[in-house]
Structure 1
Amino acid sequence: MAASLAMIFFSMILVNNYVLVQFLGICPFLGVSKKLDSAFGMSCAVIFVMALATAATWPIYTYILEPQGLAYLQTIVFILVIAVLVQLVEIIMKKYMPPLYKALGVYLPLITTNCAVLGVTISVIDEGYNFVESLVCAVGAGFGFMLAMVLFAGVRKRLEDAKPPKCFEGLPITLVSASVVSLSFMGFGGIIENIFGA
């Protein structure tokens, strides 16, 4: 049991990273990764929302929607739950962490429409995970999001000192850098399965 949970957790960070492998949550990845502190703060908020959203949506789907034959409403219900949780995070940050709240700006409400958060809540249902596995998957996906954000914040810091060709300045060099970081995660493909014997 512990080995399968560890495999789920680490595969969500390295092998199935939502940002660098599945290309979900790209908007905050490109928008908030300019500074390390805002990237870290956004990542913590996403981890919190992912874990809470999964903890709320899994029982709603398992015990209410599916038994009542309303499984087709999962996307709408999940989006509503995520929106409520993001509002909660926004209120808490505004009250207790005003500098981080100001630094995240418009990107904090965008967690509501962050497809990585919705993707986790739907994928745990599709994978047939139980409640504990779902939570481990969500937290692992959140830490994978954090890893991608922090790594890319470091890359972007180095890009500020670089002198790319004129045609690559700005967004083009950012996208090229993101693709190189993403390619580096392809190497993790078989490692998790070999370690945990799956």
Structure 2
Amino acid sequence: MEVNSISFIFFNAFLANNFVLALFLGLCPFLGVSGKLETAVPMGLATTFVMLVSSVCAYAINQVLVTFDIEYLRLISYIAVIASAVQLVEMAMKKLSPALFRALGIFLPLITTNCAILGLALFQTFKEYNFIQSVVYALGAGAGFILAIVLMAGLRERLELAKLPSVTQGAALSLILGGVLSLAFMGFAGLGA
């Protein structure tokens, strides 16, 4: 499979270089919101939407910055776009689903500081992806984020019913599950470049 093909870019971001389980980016919402499937899925969708908007805007911003030879403004420009996209998602969610907005709590505004989103914008810029490749990369990364957070939420829900030693409950269990999932995803490492 060609390294710059659309399918390779998608599956590389989705599995082989999963932002959460292989690159360890975006761990705050991954660990914080993955307690229940009913909050994990909307958080994954919100993060994917912000990734998509950020990716498209980062591509456009990078074109402008390169044209005017002011690439040093790249990072601050990306942060401003990410913060704006998160604000848009937050306002929409507060209006459309106040219960979900309250359930996600502080983790929704924390998408702004989610390093996976900033990493996505920077990675696509440094890989010099064109517009279509950038969009596919964002969709693959978002789908990978949803996959990781849903897997984690499913495991955590199932283990709530299990009898576990007290030392492995709470945060310890979350970290153990995250480590096991990460090890499982390392099996895909040979697929990516």
Q: What is the aligned partner in structure 1 of residue 71 from structure 2?
A: 71
1:134 correspondence with 2:134: yes
Gaps of at least 5 residues in structure 2 are none
List aligned pairs for 1:47-62, cutoff 5 A: 47-62=48-63
Kept in 1: contact 2:55–2:135 (CA 8 A): yes
Q: What is the aligned partner in structure 1 of residue 97 from structure 2?
A: 97
Separation in 1 of the partners of 2:188 and 2:7? 15
Kept in 2: contact 1:164–1:173 (CA 8 A): no
Q: What is the aligned partner in structure 2 of residue 5 from structure 1?
A: 6
Q: What is the aligned partner in structure 1 of residue 43 from structure 2?
A: 42
| TM-superposed deviation, 1:83 | 0.4
Separation in 2 of the partners of 1:159 and 1:68? 54
| TM-superposed deviation, 1:67 | 2.2
| TM-superposed deviation, 1:165 | 2.7
Q: Which stretch of structure 1 is more off in the superposition, 15-24 or 167-176?
A: 167-176
Query: Would you identify which runs of 4 or more consecutive aligned residues in structure 1 move more than 4 Å?
Result: none
Distance 1:36 1:123, change over 3 A: same
2:79 corresponds to which letter in structure 1? Answer: I
1:7 corresponds to which letter in structure 2? Answer: F
Gaps of at least 5 residues in structure 1 are 194-198
1:149 corresponds to which letter in structure 2? Answer: I
- Give RMSD over aligned pairs: 1.5
Separation in 2 of the partners of 1:61 and 1:177? 38
Q: What is the aligned partner in structure 2 of residue 164 from structure 1?
A: 164
1:52 corresponds to which letter in structure 2? Answer: V
TM-score, normalised relative to structure 1: 0.92
Question: How many residues get paired?
Answer: 191
